Protein backbone atom coordinates (compact mmCIF):
# COMPACT_ATOMS: atom_id res chain seq x y z
CA UNK A 1 0.00 0.00 0.00
CA UNK A 2 1.13 3.55 -0.77
CA UNK A 3 2.60 4.91 2.52
CA UNK A 4 0.80 8.21 1.90
CA UNK A 5 -2.51 6.35 1.58
CA UNK A 6 -1.77 4.24 4.67
CA UNK A 7 -1.54 7.40 6.78
CA UNK A 8 -5.07 8.43 5.78
CA UNK A 9 -6.42 6.00 8.40
CA UNK A 10 -4.92 8.15 11.15
CA UNK A 11 -6.39 11.48 10.03
CA UNK A 12 -8.35 13.11 12.85
CA UNK A 13 -9.98 16.20 11.34
CA UNK A 14 -11.51 15.85 7.88
CA UNK A 15 -13.25 18.33 5.59
CA UNK A 16 -15.38 16.82 2.82
CA UNK A 17 -16.74 18.88 -0.06
CA UNK A 18 -19.57 17.72 -2.29
CA UNK A 19 -20.70 19.59 -5.39
CA UNK A 20 -24.12 20.45 -6.78
CA UNK A 21 -23.97 17.85 -9.55
CA UNK A 22 -23.31 15.13 -6.96
CA UNK A 23 -26.46 15.96 -5.00
CA UNK A 24 -28.99 16.04 -7.81
CA UNK A 25 -30.53 13.73 -10.37
CA UNK A 26 -29.16 14.86 -13.74
CA UNK A 27 -32.45 14.08 -15.46
CA UNK A 28 -34.59 16.38 -13.31
CA UNK A 29 -32.39 18.53 -11.10
CA UNK A 30 -34.21 17.22 -8.01
CA UNK A 31 -32.21 16.22 -4.93
CA UNK A 32 -30.91 12.65 -4.90
CA UNK A 33 -32.09 11.45 -1.50
CA UNK A 34 -30.30 8.10 -1.79
CA UNK A 35 -26.94 9.82 -2.30
CA UNK A 36 -27.65 12.25 0.52
CA UNK A 37 -28.55 9.38 2.84
CA UNK A 38 -25.36 7.48 2.01
CA UNK A 39 -23.36 10.68 2.51
CA UNK A 40 -24.90 11.19 5.95
CA UNK A 41 -24.21 7.58 6.91
CA UNK A 42 -20.57 7.82 5.81
CA UNK A 43 -19.99 11.05 7.74
CA UNK A 44 -21.74 9.75 10.85
CA UNK A 45 -19.57 6.65 10.73
CA UNK A 46 -16.47 8.86 10.73
CA UNK A 47 -17.86 10.71 13.75
CA UNK A 48 -18.47 7.37 15.46
CA UNK A 49 -14.76 6.65 15.00
CA UNK A 50 -13.99 9.80 16.99
CA UNK A 51 -12.99 11.94 14.03
CA UNK A 52 -13.93 15.60 13.55
CA UNK A 53 -15.94 16.05 10.36
CA UNK A 54 -16.95 19.16 8.41
CA UNK A 55 -19.11 19.02 5.27
CA UNK A 56 -18.90 21.78 2.65
CA UNK A 57 -22.04 21.39 0.57
CA UNK A 58 -22.94 23.17 -2.64
CA UNK A 59 -26.43 23.16 -4.08
CA UNK A 60 -28.34 26.10 -2.60
CA UNK A 61 -28.86 28.08 -5.81
CA UNK A 62 -29.57 24.98 -7.89
CA UNK A 63 -32.03 23.73 -5.28
CA UNK A 64 -33.76 27.11 -5.14
CA UNK A 65 -34.00 27.35 -8.92
CA UNK A 66 -35.70 23.96 -9.00
CA UNK A 67 -38.14 24.86 -6.21
CA UNK A 68 -39.11 28.14 -7.91
CA UNK A 69 -39.11 26.69 -11.46
CA UNK A 70 -36.47 29.19 -12.60
CA UNK A 71 -34.04 28.22 -15.36
CA UNK A 72 -30.44 29.33 -15.66
CA UNK A 73 -31.42 31.80 -18.36
CA UNK A 74 -32.55 34.07 -15.52
CA UNK A 75 -29.09 34.84 -14.24
CA UNK A 76 -29.25 38.24 -12.55
CA UNK A 77 -27.64 38.63 -9.13
CA UNK A 78 -30.97 39.27 -7.32
CA UNK A 79 -32.50 36.12 -8.85
CA UNK A 80 -29.50 34.00 -7.82
CA UNK A 81 -29.53 35.46 -4.31
CA UNK A 82 -33.26 34.82 -3.95
CA UNK A 83 -32.83 31.25 -5.20
CA UNK A 84 -29.99 30.77 -2.71
CA UNK A 85 -32.24 31.91 0.15
CA UNK A 86 -34.97 29.46 -0.85
CA UNK A 87 -32.60 26.64 -1.71
CA UNK A 88 -30.39 26.86 1.38
CA UNK A 89 -33.40 26.43 3.63
CA UNK A 90 -34.63 23.41 1.66
CA UNK A 91 -31.17 21.88 1.51
CA UNK A 92 -30.61 22.17 5.26
CA UNK A 93 -34.10 20.87 6.02
CA UNK A 94 -33.27 17.76 4.01
CA UNK A 95 -29.90 17.31 5.69
CA UNK A 96 -31.52 17.81 9.10
CA UNK A 97 -34.05 15.03 8.50
CA UNK A 98 -31.50 12.57 7.13
CA UNK A 99 -28.81 13.14 9.79
CA UNK A 100 -31.46 12.87 12.52
CA UNK A 101 -32.05 9.28 11.41
CA UNK A 102 -28.52 8.56 12.68
CA UNK A 103 -28.91 10.66 15.84
CA UNK A 104 -26.33 13.13 14.56
CA UNK A 105 -26.58 16.84 15.30
CA UNK A 106 -25.63 19.16 12.46
CA UNK A 107 -25.10 22.92 12.26
CA UNK A 108 -25.24 25.42 9.42
CA UNK A 109 -22.37 27.85 8.81
CA UNK A 110 -22.64 30.35 5.94
CA UNK A 111 -19.49 32.27 5.06
CA UNK A 112 -18.25 35.07 2.84
CA UNK A 113 -14.77 36.31 2.05
CA UNK A 114 -15.11 38.78 4.92
CA UNK A 115 -15.35 35.86 7.34
CA UNK A 116 -11.70 35.11 6.62
CA UNK A 117 -10.07 38.45 5.82
CA UNK A 118 -11.49 40.30 8.84
CA UNK A 119 -9.44 39.36 11.91
CA UNK A 120 -12.33 39.43 14.38
CA UNK A 121 -14.68 37.51 12.08
CA UNK A 122 -12.01 34.89 11.45
CA UNK A 123 -11.34 34.52 15.17
CA UNK A 124 -15.07 34.11 15.86
CA UNK A 125 -15.42 31.57 13.06
CA UNK A 126 -12.52 29.52 14.42
CA UNK A 127 -14.09 29.56 17.89
CA UNK A 128 -17.45 28.46 16.48
CA UNK A 129 -15.95 25.56 14.53
CA UNK A 130 -13.83 24.54 17.51
CA UNK A 131 -16.78 24.46 19.88
CA UNK A 132 -19.07 22.63 17.47
CA UNK A 133 -16.47 19.95 16.79
CA UNK A 134 -15.77 19.58 20.51
CA UNK A 135 -19.51 19.00 20.99
CA UNK A 136 -19.55 16.29 18.32
CA UNK A 137 -21.56 18.34 15.84
CA UNK A 138 -21.03 18.09 12.07
CA UNK A 139 -20.96 21.64 10.66
CA UNK A 140 -22.38 22.00 7.14
CA UNK A 141 -20.77 24.92 5.36
CA UNK A 142 -21.67 26.89 2.25
CA UNK A 143 -20.85 30.29 0.87
CA UNK A 144 -23.52 32.82 1.85
CA UNK A 145 -24.79 33.32 -1.70
CA UNK A 146 -27.77 35.31 -0.43
CA UNK A 147 -25.55 38.29 0.40
CA UNK A 148 -22.33 37.41 -1.42
CA UNK A 149 -21.43 39.33 -4.59
CA UNK A 150 -18.39 39.31 -6.87
CA UNK A 151 -16.39 41.51 -4.50
CA UNK A 152 -17.45 39.65 -1.34
CA UNK A 153 -17.47 36.14 -2.75
CA UNK A 154 -14.94 33.34 -2.56
CA UNK A 155 -16.07 32.03 -5.93
CA UNK A 156 -16.48 28.27 -5.58
CA UNK A 157 -16.81 25.66 -2.89
CA UNK A 158 -13.59 23.88 -3.85
CA UNK A 159 -11.68 26.95 -2.69
CA UNK A 160 -14.05 27.44 0.26
CA UNK A 161 -13.47 23.91 1.52
CA UNK A 162 -9.69 24.36 1.35
CA UNK A 163 -9.92 27.67 3.21
CA UNK A 164 -12.09 26.01 5.88
CA UNK A 165 -9.55 23.16 6.13
CA UNK A 166 -6.80 25.73 6.69
CA UNK A 167 -8.91 27.71 9.17
CA UNK A 168 -9.64 24.72 11.42
CA UNK A 169 -6.23 23.00 11.01
CA UNK A 170 -7.72 19.95 9.30
CA UNK A 171 -5.32 17.22 8.24
CA UNK A 172 -7.35 15.94 5.27
CA UNK A 173 -9.58 17.49 2.60
CA UNK A 174 -11.65 15.28 0.29
CA UNK A 175 -13.19 16.88 -2.80
CA UNK A 176 -16.01 14.73 -4.17
CA UNK A 177 -16.66 15.61 -7.80
CA UNK A 178 -17.81 14.17 -11.13
CA UNK A 179 -14.31 13.07 -12.17
CA UNK A 180 -12.00 10.33 -10.86
CA UNK A 181 -9.14 12.69 -10.09
CA UNK A 182 -6.38 14.58 -11.88
CA UNK A 183 -5.45 13.68 -15.45
CA UNK A 184 -2.72 14.98 -17.72
CA UNK A 185 -5.54 16.38 -19.91
CA UNK A 186 -9.33 16.41 -19.98
CA UNK A 187 -10.24 12.69 -20.27
CA UNK A 188 -13.60 13.56 -21.83
CA UNK A 189 -11.95 15.10 -24.86
CA UNK A 190 -8.58 13.33 -24.97
CA UNK A 191 -8.62 9.53 -24.82
CA UNK A 192 -4.86 9.54 -24.27
CA UNK A 193 -5.10 11.51 -21.03
CA UNK A 194 -3.27 9.71 -18.21
CA UNK A 195 -4.55 9.43 -14.66
CA UNK A 196 -2.28 10.81 -11.93
CA UNK A 197 -2.51 8.82 -8.69
CA UNK A 198 -0.22 10.91 -6.46
CA UNK A 199 1.07 14.47 -6.50
CA UNK A 200 4.05 14.85 -4.20
CA UNK A 201 4.82 18.46 -5.14
CA UNK A 202 2.26 20.90 -6.56
CA UNK A 203 4.44 22.73 -9.06
CA UNK A 204 3.59 25.00 -12.01
CA UNK A 205 3.43 22.05 -14.39
CA UNK A 206 0.68 20.42 -12.31
CA UNK A 207 -1.21 23.70 -11.87
CA UNK A 208 -1.32 24.13 -15.65
CA UNK A 209 -3.23 20.85 -15.96
CA UNK A 210 -6.28 22.56 -14.48
CA UNK A 211 -7.30 24.44 -17.59
CA UNK A 212 -9.79 21.77 -18.72
CA UNK A 213 -13.19 21.76 -17.06
CA UNK A 214 -15.01 18.75 -15.60
CA UNK A 215 -18.00 19.10 -17.90
CA UNK A 216 -20.69 19.56 -15.25
CA UNK A 217 -23.45 22.02 -16.13
CA UNK A 218 -24.71 22.34 -12.56
CA UNK A 219 -21.74 23.39 -10.43
CA UNK A 220 -19.04 25.96 -11.09
CA UNK A 221 -15.87 24.15 -10.09
CA UNK A 222 -13.63 22.71 -12.80
CA UNK A 223 -10.23 21.12 -12.31
CA UNK A 224 -8.60 24.55 -12.05
CA UNK A 225 -10.55 25.35 -8.87
CA UNK A 226 -9.61 21.96 -7.44
CA UNK A 227 -5.92 22.62 -8.00
CA UNK A 228 -6.30 26.02 -6.34
CA UNK A 229 -7.88 24.17 -3.42
CA UNK A 230 -4.93 21.76 -3.42
CA UNK A 231 -2.52 24.69 -3.28
CA UNK A 232 -4.33 26.16 -0.26
CA UNK A 233 -4.79 22.91 1.66
CA UNK A 234 -1.32 21.45 1.07
CA UNK A 235 0.35 24.76 2.00
CA UNK A 236 -1.76 24.74 5.17
CA UNK A 237 -0.59 21.23 6.04
CA UNK A 238 -3.52 19.07 4.92
CA UNK A 239 -3.40 16.23 2.41
CA UNK A 240 -6.07 16.54 -0.27
CA UNK A 241 -7.86 13.93 -2.37
CA UNK A 242 -9.99 14.46 -5.49
CA UNK A 243 -12.37 11.52 -5.99
CA UNK A 244 -15.49 10.59 -7.93
CA UNK A 245 -18.79 10.99 -6.12
CA UNK A 246 -20.72 8.54 -8.33
CA UNK A 247 -20.59 6.17 -5.35
CA UNK A 248 -20.53 8.13 -2.07
CA UNK A 249 -19.28 5.04 -0.25
CA UNK A 250 -15.90 5.94 -1.71
CA UNK A 251 -15.41 7.99 1.47
CA UNK A 252 -14.84 5.00 3.74
CA UNK A 253 -12.74 3.32 1.07
CA UNK A 254 -10.50 6.38 0.96
CA UNK A 255 -10.34 6.44 4.76
CA UNK A 256 -9.30 2.77 4.73
CA UNK A 257 -6.23 3.82 2.74
CA UNK A 258 -7.41 2.29 -0.52
CA UNK A 259 -6.25 3.61 -3.87
CA UNK A 260 -9.08 5.92 -4.98
CA UNK A 261 -8.75 9.36 -6.53
CA UNK A 262 -5.70 11.59 -6.73
CA UNK A 263 -3.92 12.37 -3.49
CA UNK A 264 -1.95 15.58 -3.02
CA UNK A 265 0.69 15.40 -0.32
CA UNK A 266 0.69 18.12 2.34
CA UNK A 267 3.73 20.39 2.21
CA UNK A 268 3.16 22.87 5.01
CA UNK A 269 4.48 26.32 4.14
CA UNK A 270 4.96 28.57 7.16
CA UNK A 271 5.19 31.60 4.85
CA UNK A 272 1.90 30.94 3.04
CA UNK A 273 -0.40 33.91 3.75
CA UNK A 274 -3.96 32.57 3.63
CA UNK A 275 -5.51 35.99 4.23
CA UNK A 276 -3.75 37.57 1.27
CA UNK A 277 -4.69 34.61 -0.90
CA UNK A 278 -8.36 34.88 0.05
CA UNK A 279 -8.39 38.63 -0.62
CA UNK A 280 -7.51 37.93 -4.25
CA UNK A 281 -10.34 35.45 -4.79
CA UNK A 282 -13.48 36.66 -6.54
CA UNK A 283 -17.04 35.41 -6.42
CA UNK A 284 -19.09 33.66 -9.07
CA UNK A 285 -22.31 31.72 -9.40
CA UNK A 286 -22.19 28.80 -6.95
* pTM to 2 decimal places: 0.91
Give me the pLDDT at residue 155, please. 64
Is 18:160 a contact under the CB 8 Å cutoff? no
Give me the pLDDT at residue 1, please. 66
- Containing domain of residue 117, as a range? 3-279
Q: How far apart are the C-alpha atoms of 66 and 171, rounded to whole Å?
A: 36
Nearest to 58 by CA among 34, 86, 24: 24
User: For position 129, which CATH number holds?
Assistant: 3.40.1160.10
Domain count, the chain: 1
From the first residue on, what is the mean pLDDT of each consecutive set of 10 residues in the chain (286 residues)? Answer: 89 95 88 96 98 94 90 86 92 96 97 88 95 98 76 73 96 94 85 91 85 46 84 95 95 96 93 79 53
Q: How far apart are the C-alpha atoms of 214 and 122, rounded to whole Å?
A: 32
170: in domain: yes
Nearest to 224 by CA among 237, 204, 201, 207: 207
14: in domain: yes
284: in domain: no
55: in domain: yes
Give me the pLDDT at residue 73, please. 83
66: in domain: yes
286: in domain: no
Give me the pLDDT at residue 72, please. 80
Amino acid sequence: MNPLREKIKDKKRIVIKIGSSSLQHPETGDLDYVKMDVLARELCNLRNQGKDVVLVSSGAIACGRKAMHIGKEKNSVPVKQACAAVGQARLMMTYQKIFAEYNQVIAQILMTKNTFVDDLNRFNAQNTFSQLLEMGVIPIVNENDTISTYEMGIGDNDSLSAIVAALINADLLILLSDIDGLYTDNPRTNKDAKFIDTVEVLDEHIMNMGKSETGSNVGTGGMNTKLIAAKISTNAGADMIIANSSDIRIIHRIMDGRDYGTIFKANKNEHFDLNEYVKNLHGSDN
